[in-house]
Homo-oligomer: A and B are copies of this chain.
């Protein structure tokens, strides 16, 4: 019998993209598809592959008969409900941060470590975690390079989109843009904060650390975890180590929010144990189906969020050999944080599991 797929958090920003992805597939391996959300959204009707589906409330019984449950809900909801779903027999693919660093939970990017899904003994809790969207945005590229050249060091600066903070982040950025556009703020744009507040947008309520995001960049993502490091920066380090299977990978990340709606970008400085050239890296990128190489600096070809948003692949460009660091590449990578960075990777894991459950 074809397995049953549940989608928990079906009405959120990522849940909506999950449904888009399911609708976009030529075929799906699922029998039933069940949409689950909070009581507030229960009863809502959403078409999935041509059939209206009614959103059901998140209850233990909602998982009866479910084979795979994709979760995109806040950490604390996942922490509570993923084990309940697993107990009812579902394999959970969870996109929250609740289980990513749990030793008994694999953290999977199919291009890099799909092998983790081959043996049920690898996920004794019945839970598989999906990485943080910032980590995910570069992982296909880094995984491919690591296989060839053996990654040892990583210095990363991010350009993270507003939708990483959910629908609230998207709405906030658009509202702030309207508050500053056409206001003649001039060369210094010195009163962005005042213009935003004058439009009735309290900076106490913003998801962006009390700071305007329009006409600004904000070096704060997640919460402060001590010694100056923010949670998002530590996730990039710890999740990269776990996914790539390099426990001693040296990583420094600076995570910065930018006024882009969707698509995270990263400037990556990656050092390898083996010699690496631009040509060899291009070959590696071109060989991987989920990577699109956009790298003709002379011709003005490189990835930008506006040009790649909505796409599934990881887009890589500006690949160059570091001039002063041996075995080191600098490159720029863009990935849609709602697709590969969240919904798509989660769904790809579910797809890989499906044949084992039929």
Task: List chain A positions with a Cβ less than 8 A from chain B.
Answer: 13, 16-17, 153, 155, 157, 159, 163, 167, 170, 174, 177-178, 180-182, 185-190, 192-193, 209-212, 215-220, 224, 227-230, 237, 249-252, 254, 256, 258-262, 265, 267, 269, 278, 295, 297-298, 300, 302-307, 309-310, 317-325, 328, 330, 332, 336, 338
Contact = CB atoms under 8 A, between A and B. Distances in A.
Contact of A267 (B251, B254, B260): B254
Given A252-B323, A324-B252, A262 B219 contact: no
B159 A256 contact: yes
A347 B256 CA distance: 32
B267 A304 contact: no
A256 B252 contact: no
Nearest to A261: B189
A180 B177 CA distance: 8
A124 to B, nearest CB: 30
Contact of A227 (B170, B192, B215, B320): B320
> Which of A13, A157, A332 is packed against the most chain B CB atoms within 10 Å?
A157
A322 B252 contact: yes
A211 B252 contact: no
B227 A262 contact: no
Contacts of A309: 188-190
Given A157-B267, A163-B187, A182-B181, A304 B259 contact: no
Given A182-B181, A269-B155, A307-B211, A258 B261 contact: no
Contacts of A182: 174, 177-178, 181
Nearest to A234: B323
A87 to B, nearest CB: 34
B193 A306 contact: yes
Nearest to A167: B187
A188 B310 contact: yes
Contacts of A310: 188, 190
Contacts of A265: 217, 219, 256
Nearest to A177: B181
Contacts of A321: 227-228
Contacts of A178: 181-182
